[in-house]
Structures are given as structure tokens and as C-alpha cells.
Amino acid sequence: MSPYDEGAERPLSMSRERFERIYKTIRDRICLLEYQPGERLAEEELAREFNVSRTPIRRVLSRLESEGLLESRHGVGTFVTDVDIDSLAQVFRLRMELAELIGKLDPIPRGEADLARVRALLVRCDKLLKQPDAKAYARLNMDFFQELTAMVGNGPLRDISERLYYLTTRIWLKSVPHLNLPAEIEVFRREMADILQAMEVGDLEAVGHIRRSHISMSVKRMKRYPDGKE
């Protein structure tokens, strides 16, 4: 990971960099369903894995709990939360409204290196279309979200957008058995291509509108098959 704080110029301290690395690793495992809803996360096991004391692990788990990804049960332990689209309906609506703001509130213009990274994501997406894989698609989606986050110059907007994204991202993976995966990947590719085109011409406000539209359509598709049936 970068030794610099996101959205800032100062380098991270070694302890802060370690904390962020552990935090993002555990967060991603939760979001990719490597840690299943209801699974208990043991501090001592995580401390051994990351070769740290239990103190930074405890801080990481506390942050993930504050973000709704974990819950602590007194005297029992810390567990991965479960999610469903109905309980997070208000979160999705807020995500749609915030999406339009990413190109309005202090957006950071995209340079050639930024555009090259998005183009590389499109290449990955094309490979996925030939060999669809749900987990690889979910990882691609998360990497693309980070590229969108990188253009958000407004700190509070960036922070809340990240928190809400990771709170809801597991719902798609849970819906995969009821969705047409190749079709989902194709829709996502169109979103990335349209956003890349907007970035290339410097129309960052259009990026927000495109993102909002695709979040809305994704929610409607997931809600259509709550039980795997039309």
C-alpha cells in the first residue's frame, strides 16, 4: 500500500501504516465473504497471523464494529455482521445521492496515470467476461471504487462514501446465485467505460451522474430476486 495517507501529502507513521494494512485486509475479507456472516473473529488468532500484539488488532476490530461490519457480544466475542438489501435500503438511497456529489465537491482532475489505471481495470473486466468469477468480479468492483474515491477531494464526502460502500458491498456477492453473472459483468463494464470517457474529457460531474444511475439499477436487479425467483 502507499506510505502516504489517502487524500494527504504527509507520510504515514509505521504504526499507522501497519494499522491501515491490517484494517484493509480484514475489511476486504469481510466484504469478499472470506469471513462469513456470523463468523467469530478471535483477537489472538489475528494477532498471530499479522505478527502483532492484540492491541492493534483490538483497535482494528473496534473500527470495523463502528462501521457496521462487526458486532461485539459481551463475554462471547466479535462476530461478522449479516446484511440484507431491505435493512440497508436507506443506505443505498444515501449512496445514490452522494454519488452525484463526487464530481461537484472539490473533485480532483484525473491525470494520464489515473486514466491508465482505469483502462487496466477494463482489460481485467474483459478477461472476466470470458471466464466469469464472482469473487474476482467483486474484487474488480472494489478496485474500481478506489479509483472513484481517489478523485474525491472533499474529505468528509470521501469518508462517508467509503463507509457506506463497504457496508453494502457484500449484498451483491450474497445475491450472485440469483443473478446472471456474465450480464452483471457486462453492465459493470459499460459503467466503467462510460466513466472513463467522462474522465478523459474532464467532465467529472458526469462521473457522479453515471455512478448514481448504476447504483440505482444494481439495487433494482438485486431486489428483483430475493428468493432466486422472478
pLDDT tens string, the chain, 230 residues long: the values are 444 444 444 566 888 899 999 999 999 999 999 999 999 999 999 999 999 999 999 999 999 999 999 999 988 999 999 988 888 999 999 999 999 999 999 999 999 999 999 999 999 999 999 999 999 999 999 999 999 999 999 999 999 999 999 999 999 898 888 889 999 999 999 999 999 999 999 999 999 999 999 999 999 988 876 543 43
Domain count along the chain: 2
Confidence (pTM): 0.87
Residue of 63, 45, 16, 76 lying closest to 167 (CA atoms): 63
- 101 and 155, same domain (yes or no): yes
User: What pLDDT score does 74 carry?
Assistant: 87
> Are residues 103 and 163 both part of a single domain?
yes
Domain boundary (57, 80, 103) is at 80
Are 96 and 210 found together in one domain? yes
Tell me the three-class secondary structure of the chain, residue by residue: CCCECCCCCCECCHHHHHHHHHHHHHHHHHHCCCCCCCCEECHHHHHHHHCCCHHHHHHHHHHHHHCCCEEEECCCEEEECCCCCCCCHHHHHHHHHHHHHHHCCCECCCCHHHHHHHHHHHHHHHHHHHCCCHHHHHHHHHHHHHHHHHCECCHHHHHHHHHHHHHHHHHHHHHHHHCCHHHHHHHHHHHHHHHHHHHHCCCHHHHHHHHHHHHHHHHHHHHHCCCCCC
How high is the pLDDT of residue 116? 98
2, part of any domain: no
Distance from C-alpha of 220 to C-alpha of 213, rounded to nearest angstrom: 11
CATH number of the domain at 23, please.
1.10.10.10
56 assigned to some structural domain: yes
Q: Are residues 100 and 63 in the same domain?
A: no
pLDDT given at position 75: 86
Domain boundary among 30, 49, 80: 80
Could you tell me the CATH number of the domain that includes residue 171?
A: 1.20.120.530
Same domain membership, residue 132 and residue 220:
yes
Please indicate, yes or no, if residue 202 is contained in any of the structural domains: yes
Q: Are residues 137 and 197 in the same domain?
A: yes
Whether residues 183 and 94 fall in one domain: yes
Residue 8: inside a domain: no
Q: Are 149 and 218 in the same domain?
A: yes
Claim to verify: residue 113 and residue 95 sit in the same structural domain = yes
Q: Which domain holds residue 203?
A: 89-224
User: What per-residue confidence (pLDDT) applies to 178?
Assistant: 84
For residues 104 and 68, membership in a common domain is answered with no
Look at residue 179 in the predicted model and tell me its pLDDT: 86
In a domain, 9, yes or no: no
Report yes or no on 51 lying in a domain.
Answer: yes
165 belongs to a structural domain: yes
